Amino acid sequence: MTGAEIIIQALIDQGVEVVFGYPGGAVLPIYDEIFKNQDKIKHVLVRQEGGALHAAEGYARSTGKVGCALVTSGPGATNAVTGLTDALLDSIPLVCITGQVPTFLVGTDAFQEADTTGITRPCTKHNYLIKDANKVADIIHEAFHVARSGRPGPVVIDIPKDVQFAKGAYKKALKPSLQTYQPKTEADRAAIEAAVALMANAKKPVFYTGGGVINAGTEASKLLRELVRETGFPITSTLMGLGAYPASDKQWLGMLGMHGTFEANLAMHDCDVMINIGARFDDRVTGRTDKFSPHSTKIHIDIDPSSINKNIHVDIPIVADAASALKMMIDVWKKHRYKADREALDKWRKQIEGWRAKNCLAYKNSDTVIKPQYALERLRDALAKDPREKYITTEVGQHQMWAAQFLPFNEPNRWMTSGGLGTMGYGLPAAVGVQMAHKDSLVVNISGDGSVQMNIQEIGTAIQYKLPVKIFILNNSWLGMVRQWQELLHGERYSETYSESLPDFVKLAEAYGGVGLRAETPDELDDVIEKMLKTDRLTIVDVCVDQRENIFPMIPSGKAHNEMILSPDADKFDKSLV
């Protein structure tokens, strides 16, 4: 077989159904094999390589499978770097195949040559440069194993063009137990025993969960629900962990962090036992680290040993897969017939309910101007009546945080957002990937007018493959999150954050062959949302929202959890950080 034939056969054997990519000279042998195997593997032609990586991320996050992308050498590979970094920070399993100039031209500054393995080494879990066709199959199989095992992440395979033409032998994949890479997944029993004993004696406990629960599979989410209900403890999560525990449950405190709820952040600050499962103490959660949850004993379960004690010192570190650790914790809790301290827990709940009574997400509505929060509430109510499976993607900015606050997620793998890197332009191509994986489901990308333009060319991809993605733009003509910081921290000096020229999003949708709708007043919202949900084509809804609205609660950078500001307190905010 040729190297290109081996690549396609290996992808098929790895269960790859869809490859997101963009052709070029250095990958033409692979594209020729894709043409011959159209009945076995689907290729989706994106409009820019960055879109391919984000689409693969959306596909992977919504299915739990490894996403796959294919790009050419040089600019194709460098355009993929943002998506690779995004996947690395959010622990998304990807395999990205990059073409390379022939081996005899490597190092000669050949046309479309770039040092792909050198460039991508810091932003991938692992990368390879293949110089022998006989090694192609083994390396591809190993790459998928590395991407999905342990802490998931992106892997790059760089393949020179002459290797794609060369003859080599095909080999089947080794069993996972025979692969060299064997991350630790089973928890230490003694550490779990100590953690559960600590939980049983807690007076003010809280579960702090993250994307690691979702990455561990749906079984981990089921076990998390069992443990939370068994203990009766309150639970919060990071942005990436939304959906692992149902937002509709009474033990749910909402999201924590910079724009998390008042009750979640204060519970984290005042708790005496913190059970971190699959979250990495990100700075958007911890704020000022020397004042982070000062009175708690901390348990941290993470499959990545390098995350333990990286940002915050923990008292009981447990390196394990979240599902494995949760199962063991439930077993230990039941075996010892532990019971939570009900009297203390009732007192703790009463304190939390006092914080919840603040109604921190309240906003002042208007009869004449659409408030972004109101737009999402109307969308939320309409989605609740729709019988289809729902998937939400977002771009990055104020709209992203409002979506996290106002849309309820009750199941894992339904919420796709760029949490770690904060990549504007993520949401639309991610929605393409999600819709490819879930053809009959409803996929809505919540966007801002600035962020959606970062990869707006992927409308063409959605149209070409008849993907009825909905793009719900909260249009305020500003780079809203940056404007908010300029208002609060930079004396209202709005440097370069207002867009004087925006496209007519309705006409833009129509120009591509989609549907464009607009709402300019609160009275028009329900009608356009209803029409959006009924269309069978890509649809843009341009929601013209209040240009001055800010998102609260907010923990300013450098402040502790108990120093958050609520909307009524914004004018009194300490601006000494400027």
- Starting at the edge strand that comes first in sequence, how are the strands of the sheet with 154-160 ordered? 42-45, 18-21, 67-71, 94-100, 154-160, 126-129
How much is the mean pLDDT over the chain?
A: 96
The sign of the torsion formed by the CA atoms of 175, 177, 182, 187 equals positive
pLDDT at position 489, please? 84
562: CB partners within 8 A, 6+ apart: 265, 266, 269, 270
Query: What's the rounded mean pLDDT across residues 201-212?
Result: 98
Give me the catalytic one of 104, 111, 172, 335.
111
385 catalytically annotated: no
Q: Catalytic residue among 436, 481, 532, 554, which?
A: 481
DSSP codes, 182-219:
----SPPHHHHHHHHHHHHT-SSEEEEE-HHHHHT-HH
pTM score above 0.85 = yes
Give per-residue burial for 331-343: e unless 16+ CB within 10 Å, then b. Answer: ebbeeeeeebbee
Of these residues, 49, 113, 458, 549, which one is catalytic?
49
Q: At 316, which helix (H) or strand (E)? A: strand 316-319
Q: Tell me what pLDDT residue 572 has.
A: 66
Identify whether 564 is a catalytic site residue: no
Predicted confidence (pLDDT) at residue 79 exceeds the cutoff of 80:
yes
| The pLDDT of residue 103 is above 50 | yes
pLDDT at 569: 75
417 pLDDT exceeds 70?
yes
How many angstroms separate the Cα of 27 from the Cα of each of 50, 55, 342?
17, 19, 63
- 238 with 211: CB under 8 angstroms? yes
Which pLDDT score, from 0 to 100, does residue 225 have?
98
CB atoms within 10 A of CB 533: 17
Task: Work out the average pLDDT over 90-107.
Answer: 98
Whether the pLDDT of residue 358 is over 80: the answer is yes
Note whether 310 and 289 are within 8 A (CB). no
| pLDDT band with cut points at 50, 70 and 90 for residue 578 | very low
| pLDDT exceeds cutoff 50 at 35 | yes
Strands 252-255, 235-237: pairing is parallel
Backbone angles phi, psi at 279, to 5 degrees: -125, 155
Annotated catalytic residue, options 65, 125, 135, 161 = 161
161 is an active site residue: yes
Which of 14-23, 403-412, 568-577 is predicted with the least confidence, judged by mean pLDDT?
Answer: 568-577
pLDDT digits (tens, 9 = 90+) for 245-298: 999 999 999 999 999 999 999 999 999 999 999 999 999 899 889 999 999 999
| Alpha-carbon gap, residue 273 to 270, rounded angstroms | 9
293-325 tens-digit pLDDT: 999 999 999 999 999 999 999 999 999 999 999
**What span, in angstroms and rounded, lies between the C-alpha atoms of 451 and 424?**
5
Per-residue pLDDT at 575: 61
7-18: per-residue pLDDT in tens?
999 999 999 999
Query: Given 112, 351, 457, 464, which residue is catalytic?
Result: 112
Whether 576 shows a pLDDT value over 80: the answer reads no
